[in-house]
A and B are shown apart, each in its own frame.
Chain A
């Protein structure tokens, strides 16, 4: 009862002072500093198993309004040299001209163009630039939750997946028939600025 009353009071105060956060989109910075965000990928190895890897370094921002989630805008930049598959020599190969060519293309980026919302799920359309090639991709995303954190901040979190075809981005190395496509998994938590 007590907590409900507190909430009621807070909501009333917000309405009175015109501070309702719901009416306006807020800017969030993806919490890579506290590592509450990750970009991982999965790809077939010989068609027998799935190999997972990740990009250790990236940064990004998004604007989000819980009342108007279709207006969400996302921007992410990835340091391609930070690829990590838990085997240094393989990471070196992935950084080479056979794959990411990181000396020529040190960053990959994603910028959303539009968002189709269904409940707490959404299809995020946007442009992915990888290996110097920009292509339209769609990410199937879910809003997991959001609210105050215990340290005075305010956070929103999402998860999303997408599939890309490596050859579409000019990465032509033969990894086998089943490894033409790669799955990307994004877990993003943003701190409101």
Chain B
């Protein structure tokens, strides 16, 4: 099994990062949506945001690693795609990275604008570096809008992958799923 990418396909690290983060992003979206409506007397009222923040920080570190891995690694050949598909897929990938980064920074700010740090599962904590009372509302709104935007784009991304698999019958989805070479 290839750890690194080859010109033919994705290596283990890229595939792990892709699928782990895909699951985590959907889970974080669901958790965020659910916890925002929790009543004060719900037993998860304190625990849910704590987990959301902790995993958010871990995902932020993972996203940084993912982007660095992508830049430092070979990209599998996508010359079999039409040039429009090539451009759109790159725009989608980098767009998702950028929106995720902004969403995560907003999330970090919502929790730290009052000077408090974020405790990550009791392991370590991320300090507050910028304090500005009242801006939580703005960043909260941006965080929410981006969450919906990212889920929307992810659905488009999924639709595109399925189109390649079932209609074009090429290896786009397979090489992200289990590596190997394209047909």
Q: A and B bound? A: yes
Check A88 against B39 for contact (C-beta < 8 Å): no
Stretch of A11-19, A61-69, A79-87, A184-192 lying at the B interface: A79-87
Q: A81-B134, A92-B140, A95-B137 are in contact. Are A86 and B114 (CB under 8 A)?
A: yes
Check A88 against B41 for contact (C-beta < 8 Å): no
User: Is A91 located at the chain interface by the 8 A CB criterion?
Assistant: yes
**Which of B41, B49, B136 neighbours the largest number of chain A CB atoms within 10 Å of its CB?**
B136
* Contact residue among B39, B49, B111, B112 (Cβ-Cβ distance under 8 Å from A174): B39
Q: A56-B133, A81-B137 are in contact. Are A88 and B111 (CB under 8 A)?
A: yes
Give the 5 A-B CB pairs with smallest separation, nearest first: A88-B114, A88-B136, A92-B136, A88-B113, A92-B140
Q: A174-B39, A174-B41, A175-B40 are in contact. Are A89 and B134 (CB under 8 A)?
A: no
Which B residues lie within 8 Å of A92 (CB)?
Answer: 110, 136-137, 140
16 A/B residue pairs, CB under 8 Å, sorted by A: A56-B133, A81-B134, A86-B114, A87-B114, A88-B110, A88-B116, A89-B49, A89-B136, A91-B134, A92-B110, A92-B136, A92-B137, A92-B140, A173-B40, A174-B39, A174-B41
Which B residues lie within 8 Å of A89 (CB)?
Answer: 49, 110-111, 114, 136
Band of interface residues on A:
10 to 19
Band of interface residues on B:
10 to 19
Minimum C-beta distance from A33 to chain B (A): 18
Check B40 against A91 for contact (C-beta < 8 Å): no
Which A residues lie within 8 Å of B114 (CB)?
Answer: 86-89, 91
- Considering only residues 76-119 of chain A, those with a C-beta below 8 Å from chain B are 81-82, 84, 86-89, 91-92, 95, 102
Which B residues lie within 8 Å of A176 (CB)?
Answer: 40-41
Check A82 against B134 for contact (C-beta < 8 Å): yes
A88 CA to B132 CA, complexed, in Å: 9
Which B residues lie within 8 Å of A82 (CB)?
Answer: 134
Which A residues lie within 8 Å of B134 (CB)?
Answer: 81-82, 91
Give 1 or 0 for each of B16-57: 1 = CB within 8 Å of chain A CB: 000000000000000000000001110000000100000000
A175 CA to B110 CA, complexed, in Å: 23
Which B residues lie within 8 Å of A81 (CB)?
Answer: 134, 137
Which B residues lie within 8 Å of A95 (CB)?
Answer: 137
